[in-house]
Amino acid sequence: MTSTKKDPVLAVLQLSGGNDALNTIVPYSNPLYADNRPSVRVSEDQVLPINDSVGFNPALAPIKELYDQGKVAIIQGVGYPNPNRSHFRSMDIWHTCEPEQVGSEGWLGRAIRDLDPQGENVLTGVNFGRGLPRSLAAPGVPVASVGNLETYGVLTGIEDDQRTDALDIFSRMYSPAMGRGPVMDYLSHTGMDALKGADILSTAPEKYSSSVEYGNNSVAQYMRNIAQTHIAEFGTRFLYTTAPYNSFDTHAGQMVGHSSLWREVSAAVHDFYTDLTENNAADNMVLLVFTEFGRRVHDNGSGTDHGSGGVAFVIGDSVKGGLYGEYPSLAQDKLLEGDLHFNNDFRGLYSTLLEKWIGIDAKSVVGGNFEQMDFL
């Protein structure tokens, strides 16, 4: 493996289900906020102010701390034209950058192919969680999906004392052999790749030490895995994980649920940065936190339904912290069928990350030229 120590790395934390932007970065002094949120509102005295008009939900206090250090860019009103309020479709659009038709290739899959066209490093992209998000999918691009870093590998169900022998046989079975045809050759190659990837990844926990104690929830544990993999310097450029499936889909009971989700997420993000800093690995990491859409401006008595116009965060030592883009208007005549309008196309956000951070041409990855931002 070539020395890739200071190559820029992007981690992505996907908040699936549609995070309520209004109750994340709260327009607390806007009377329309109180009007529209009779039941699902963060009260003004709870808000952690950023300025006179908006502030953090108190559950984001750990992120506020990073914000105060200038490391957090808040991308307001992020979305795309003709918003789709289906989780699946909208997430697909964010994953594929194809708002018009159903696309199959993920933006990060394409980015990995750009960086490593021959697939020389099987760990250029690593996902934490079962199943590959479409953002990382592209034909011929190997991406490991790691359900559990501590146990990741082939034939994990075989008991320890037998497993070494079993893996030895596996590697012999999958060694290239003559005259078995192209499909078998492909399988051999893939099996050996899988074994190699697992072997390398399995060393990450051993190489890692830290005084940071992450929370006992899946976001925190996967953020820890991302830190471990990044610190281990396998040449991984994209790391990805997803908060539990649709957990941000707060149709009901939002006041309790949304706060507790954000307490977990923001603590995990804060721990992640403390961890990277302690391990001298923070300088080449940027973290993107995004969701497929924001939620309805008006609450439904107990929660909020699917909307548009969301909020995203970009966090890192290299990030110029601050508020980016305009906070969408809550005025009735400025809403789109009861939703916030978007002011920033997410493909501009992606382009900024790809060009100004990763250093590759964004146009072919996101499917066009989009206005970039100044947070990097």
Which residues of this chain interact with another protein, rule CB under 8 A? 86-89, 92, 102-104, 122, 130-132, 134, 137, 139, 142-145, 153-158, 162, 165-166, 169-170, 172-174, 177, 180, 183-184, 186-188, 190-191, 193-194, 197-198, 245, 251-253, 257, 296, 298-305, 337-338
Of residues 199 and 213, the one with the C-beta less far from another protein: 199
Query: What are the tokens at 278?
Result: 């302690």
Q: Which residues, in sequence order, are CB contacts of 33 under 8 Å at separation 6+? A: 22, 26, 27, 41, 330
* Residues 73 and 374: beta-carbon distance below 8 Å: no
Shortest Cβ 118–another protein spacing (Å)? 14
Shortest Cβ 186–another protein spacing (Å)? 5
Of residues 137 and 354, the one with the C-beta less far from another protein: 137
* Residues 193 and 227: beta-carbon distance below 8 Å: no
Residue 328 has what DSSP assignment? Answer: P
Of residues 132 and 281, the one with the C-beta less far from another protein: 132
Of residues 191 and 215, the one with the C-beta less far from another protein: 191
Of residues 192 and 212, the one with the C-beta less far from another protein: 192
Shortest Cβ 268–another protein spacing (Å)? 20
Shortest Cβ 203–another protein spacing (Å)? 17
Of residues 131 and 368, the one with the C-beta less far from another protein: 131
Of residues 184 and 326, the one with the C-beta less far from another protein: 184
Shortest Cβ 350–another protein spacing (Å)? 19
Closest CA to 341 of 119, 6, 76: 76
Shortest Cβ 209–another protein spacing (Å)? 27
Q: Which residues, in sequence order, are CB contacts of 374 under 8 Å at separation 6+? A: 320, 324
Alpha helices in 289-368 (DSSP H): 346-352, 363-366
Distances (CA, A) of 192 to 115, 159, 171, 179: 22, 21, 7, 18
Alpha helices in 203-253 (DSSP H): 204-207, 218-231
Describe the strand order of the beta sheet including 55-56 as a list of residue ranges: 25-26, 55-56, 48-49
* Residues 76 and 324: beta-carbon distance below 8 Å: yes
Shortest Cβ 173–another protein spacing (Å)? 5
Map tokens 């009779």 to a residue. 38
Of residues 8 and 303, the one with the C-beta less far from another protein: 303
* Residues 143 and 126: beta-carbon distance below 8 Å: yes
Shortest Cβ 354–another protein spacing (Å)? 22
- 3-state percent helix, strand, coil for the chain, nearest multiple of 5: 35, 15, 50
